[in-house]
Structures are given as C-alpha cells and as structure tokens.
Amino acid sequence: MIARERPPKGGASPRRASAGSRPRVPDPAVGLINRQPGFKIVPMLIPPVKLPFSEEDIERLGGKFKDVLRSGHIAMGPRCAAFETEFAAWLGVDHAVGTGSGTQALELICRARDFAGASVCVPAATFMATAFAPLAAGARIVLVDCDPDTLQMDPADLERKIRPDTRAVVLVHLGGFVSRDWERIRSLAADAGAMLLEDAAHAHGAEAGGVMAGTMGDAAAFSFFATKVLPTGEGGMAVTGDEELAGRMLSIRQHGQSRPGSNVHESFGLNFRPSEMHALLGLDVLERSSRILESRRRAAAVYDRLLEGSPFTAVKPPPDQSPSYYKYIVFLPDGVPRKEFKDRLMSLHRYGLAGEVYSLPLSRQPFWAGNPEFLAHPLEDLPGADRGCSRHVCLPIWPGLDPEDQAKLVDAMSDVAGKLKSASR
C-alpha cells in the first residue's frame, strides 16, 4: 500500500522547453466573459479553479504515465484496483468500486439496489446529475426543499414528502459541507425503510463529529472530476460496507459479467469502468490528500477573517465539522443582484468567481415541465431552495491561494456591493 495521509481535523527543477518544442498552454488565470462573437478573453487576477499539481508533480507524473503506456494496461487494470483498495482504506470502508465518473458511481448504486419503479428523495439544491442517476435506474424523483441559509436538505420537508415507495434519500454534502441535520435525515430514511445514499462528490475528507463523509449512510458516490477536491480529470468511486451490494456493482460495471473477462453475463450491465490513467492520478492526489485539504481549510480560514464585519455572510460549519471546502459559499446582501454583482466585479476589478452550487434549483429546471412522469411528487415552489440558490456566490478556493490575493478580492467585492446598494436607493 502507498503511504496514506489521513485527512486532518482542522525536488527536481522543471526542464524549460525550447521555443516551439511544445504547444502553448493556456494561462489558467485567463477566463472567458462570454464565448459569443465580439467578446474578448479577459485575464482574471485569481483563477476560479486551479489544479493541485505543481511543476514538480507534473514532471514526476510524466514518468509514471510513461510506465502505464509501457505496461500495456491503459483500461481498467492493476492501478484501478490499487486506487480502489487505497481509497477504501483512506475512507475506512470495506468496499470501493471505481467508475468513469461520479454520476456513474451514483447510478451504479441505484441500479445495484434496483430502484426501478420506486421513488428517491433528492434535495433541490444540487446538480442535476443527482436526480438523473436514479432516473436512469428507473426511479422517480421527489424534490425536497432546502434551508436557504445552508443550501442543505430541509428535514421537515423530507418528513412531509417521504413516501411508502421511497427506496432512498440522497444526502448531498453540498460544497463539501455535511448537513447539520444529517443524523435526523438518516433516521427519517431508516424509519421509512429507505437507504441513506450520500452524494459525496464535493466532500472528499469532510467530517462531522468524527464521522467521515461517505461513511454516514448505506452507500456513497464520490467524483474525481477536474474541479473536485481530489481531481483526476474524470472518474468516480462508489463505496459501501455492504458486501452483497458491492458484488452487484462490480457485475453491473462490467456488462453484467459474473467475473471480468468471463464472457458469461448473468444480469443486465453497462460499461462503468475507470481507466488506468485516471487511477494513476487518483493514487497521486490521495497520497497528498492531507496537504490538499489543509491548504483549502487555511484559505477558508483567511476568508472567514476577511469577511468579518462585511456585508457578506459565509456558510460556516458547526464546531464539530471539518468541511473539505470544495466551495467557499457566500450570501450576497439583500438588494444586490448576483448577475450584476459578478459582471461588475469582472469589469471593474477583473475578478471572476467560481460557479455556484447551484444558480438554479432542480425545481426550476425546464426538464421537468416536459417530463412530469419522472416526478413522484407534483412539482411545486420550494421557497428555501429558491432563496438560497438565487443569492449566493462562490469565491475561488484552491491549494496555495495567496492570502493577499484573497484580501484584494474581498475589498473588490465590498466596493462593488457598495456601489450597487447606492445605485438602488
């Protein structure tokens, strides 16, 4: 096993390429205001997202990628198996099944538990994939309102909407924060005979009361997409302590084969396999996970201090929690419209913000109007999700973020908010 670093609570110089020896790599601090003709590329003072790979990491990984190519195994192979083993040990679960994406991991769990014809409760403040995965497995969706101040599932609305045919409640660790009500939500699911399924796409290394995100329910899905806390470009992981469930997931991942390569198909299955290239990156970021999480939490603590006494309100964890800080979520003052705020922040100060979580709640997605049969509960207004999703922004947060740059960003935000408030009077 590789030397693992548990998530905390709280070399050679790169060779300089000769001119013309490699294609120009876009500057990560450059962003597009708009991709429509007539708009220009505008340099950003802080990249909204930055990968946790130094030049030294890139040089070191380059040699390992060559080893993969020379090995002859670039599809699912020994590195994928090693990544599954290491991730399960890091998280403290019995079984981890790698997939090609976080969405696939979520769908794989839903298919292995056979949600066809059942309902699944999903919070309205999440990415559409959280609903699409159980839909793909044949379920229908119950959209649950959220707390407007945390964007987490409202347990009172869940209690009102959970049904006799509900097979799962999806607990989304939005932005890398665990819900303050996760134990109550788990109890509501258990009382209804439903599984607690964690969407932990944002929550690698997040903890609440000493319990790791991904170990709070019956199964969990992680994502390793390029923007995530532990990024591999693409990739996912389904984890569980249920041996039978893990066995079904392994079969479904490999076209329903009883064992890989047997050409004997005992059940329906698809191709949810990961690749060796992505697993190689996964092993690398997992080995450095403690440092990555520490750096993100330090950046969050800097924002916490800078925002004290400001007109902005950050989402903060209770004392017993350590978020992964996939996002640093801030609510705008009343009367400050988000689009105009972001546009002015860019045009006046050249600061671009990260994407929201999320700008439009699931209940407002146009998909449902044309597909009402996919809902197990009639579509209705969800005021908590509407308010929370409409008035927040997410500040850049990544390992190595300079505190001086953070201070300049917060100053720019205060300037823009002040101008917009004055103009609205």
Query: What are the percentages of helix, strand and coil residues in the chain, rounded to 5?
Result: 40, 15, 45
Q: Chain-wide mean pLDDT for the chain?
A: 91
- pTM (two decimals): 0.90
Is residue 302 within 8 Å of residue 400, measured between CB atoms? no
CA torsion through residues 48, 335, 387, 411, sign = positive
Q: How far apart are CA 265 and CA 254, in angstroms?
A: 9
Give the pLDDT score at 110. Answer: 98
Residues 6+ positions from 381 with CB-CB distance below 8 Å: 363
Q: What is the pLDDT of residues 316-336, one digit of tens each?
A: 999 999 999 999 999 999 999
Give the pLDDT score at 422. Answer: 84
Residues 6+ positions from 311 with CB-CB distance below 8 Å: 333, 336, 414, 417, 418, 421
Give mean pLDDT, residues 112-138: 98
Of 411, 218, 397, 189, the closest CA to residue 297 belongs to: 397
Residues 6+ positions from 164 with CB-CB distance below 8 Å: 192
Q: What is the pLDDT of residues 98-123, one digit of tens each?
A: 999 999 999 999 999 999 999 999 99
Give me the count of residues in the chain: 425
Give the pLDDT score at 415. Answer: 97
| Exposure of 296 in the CB half-sphere (CA atoms within 13 A) | 35
Of 393, 407, 403, the closest CA to residue 349 belongs to: 407
- Output the CA torsion 263→268→274→276 (10° steps): 0
**pLDDT above 80 (res 67):** yes
Is residue 165 within 8 Å of residue 194, measured between CB atoms? no
Q: How far apart are CA 46 and CA 2, in angstroms?
A: 34
**pLDDT above 70 (res 37):** no
| Exposure of 188 in the CB half-sphere (CA atoms within 13 A) | 23
Q: What is the pLDDT of residues 206-242, one digit of tens each?
A: 999 999 999 999 999 999 999 999 999 999 999 999 9
In the three-class reduction of DSSP (H, G, I as helix; E, B as strand; rest coil), residue 310 is classed as coil
* Distance from the Cα of residue 309 to its chain's centroid: 30
pLDDT over 90 percentage in the chain: 86
Q: Which contiguous run of DSSP H or E holds residue 342?
A: helix 338-349
- pLDDT-derived band at 65 (thresholds 50, 70, 90) equals very high
- pLDDT-derived band at 31 (thresholds 50, 70, 90) equals very low
Domains observed in the chain: 66-287 (3.40.640.10), 289-424 (3.90.1150.10)
Give the pLDDT score at 18. Answer: 40
Give the pLDDT score at 35. Answer: 45
Tokens at residue 368, please? 């449902």
Give mean pLDDT, residues 256-272: 90
Give mean pLDDT, residues 1-9: 47
Give mean pLDDT, residues 392-421: 97
Q: Provide the strand spans (E) within 291-391.
A: 313-314, 321-322, 328-331
How many angstroms separate the first and last alpha carbons of the chain? Answer: 62
Q: Provide the strand spans (E) within 188-334.
A: 195-199, 207-208, 211-212, 219-223, 236-240, 313-314, 321-322, 328-331
Is residue 144 within 8 Å of residue 153, measured between CB atoms? yes
Using alpha carbons, list the distances in angstroms from residue 383 to 81, 151, 361: 45, 11, 10
